[in-house]
Amino acid sequence: MALALRCLRPLPSLLLRSSFAMARGLPQAPQGCPALLLEGCRQCAQQMLLSRQLATKKAKGKGQSQAKVNISAALVEDIINLEETSENMQAVIEALKEDFSRNLNVRTSPGALDHITVMTKDGKFPLNQLGQISQKSPQLMIVNMTNFPESTAAAAKAIRESGMNLNPEVDGTVIRVPVPKVTREHRESLAKLAKQFTNKSKEALRKVRSKSITQVKKFKNKVSEDTIWLLEKQIQQMADEAAAEMDKLLAAKTKELLG
């Protein structure tokens, strides 16, 4: 009995929406489809909603701002997981933030060396797992490789090739790392590196977008063209927003580096 009441309760609004769809020439639930009365057919409800969104966008005059596509993830979960797509794009942004934090510091501190990856005969390891890093003075850092003396040369090479403008000196199992004065040239070099990191992240973002759009296109024979178009548009919007956030991060980092 309770189920029957729940089914009948939305009847007036559903009939009104069906009449609206007919008046606007929008797709309706197939004849005999229980969705018209019970909203039990997800495909029909989805089609009606997405078509209304598309009609709204097409009604916009040329040169006018278009409404933002905002499809409910629940309506299209059988086609693509939009939440997962968003999370993957956000992961690319977070990785860029991490690159900026680790690799692009005007002032060098012991923590700035932690992320440096050292290639040893046993594989790749962060420098701080192989040696003890300390700061002797503002102009000198020390990396003590006593625990892994066989990796001393590899560690010195990794520091030299880190892109941080450092020239380590090896003394037995101790690596001395002079900290150079920050010059304008070094600041500009870091700013260029920030741009390179951003471009690399945007390429990763494009891969996420392309993968998602490819997933959507697999259903082109199962759902309407309008649905495919709207999903592609939403994924592109998500990518554009992520790229815009990356540009803001780059602008802020460039300003920080160049002073």
Which contacts of 188-192 are long-range, i.e. CB under 8 A and separated by 24 or more positions? 188/258, 189/165, 190/104, 190/106, 190/257, 191/253, 191/254, 191/257, 191/258
Q: Do 93 and 194 fall within a single domain? A: yes
45 neighbors 35 (Cβ within 8 angstroms):
yes
Q: Where are the alpha helices (DSSP H) in 62-183?
A: 82-103, 127-130, 152-160
Number of domains into which the chain is organized: 2
Q: Determine the pLDDT at residue 166.
A: 86
Is beta strand 140-144 parallel, antiparallel or unpaired with respect to 174-178? Answer: antiparallel
pLDDT tens figures, 120-156:
998 999 999 999 999 888 789 999 999 999 999 999 9
* Structural domain contains residue 244: yes
Q: CATH number of the domain at 200, please.
A: 1.10.132.20
Q: What is the pLDDT of residue 41?
A: 45
CA–CA distance, 230 with 240 (Å, rounded to integer): 15
Which residue in 254, 211, 230 sits closest to 67, CA to CA?
230
Q: Average pLDDT for consecutive 10-residue bins of the chain (259 residues)?
A: 44 41 42 40 49 49 60 84 95 93 72 85 92 89 95 94 85 92 84 95 97 94 90 95 97 90
Asked if residue 79 belongs to a domain, the reply is: yes
Question: What pLDDT, in 10s, does the model give residues 192-210?
Answer: 999 999 999 999 999 999 9
Asked if 133 contacts 113 with a C-beta cutoff of 8 angstroms, the reply is yes
Inside any domain, residue 241: yes
Whole-model pTM over 0.85: no
Query: Residues 187, 227: one domain?
Result: yes
Is residue 115 in a domain? yes
26 within a domain of the structure (yes/no)? no
| Angle at the Cα of 28 from the Cα atoms of 24 and 32, rounded to 5 degrees | 150
Q: Are residues 123 and 93 in the same domain?
A: no
Structural domain including 136 reads 110-178
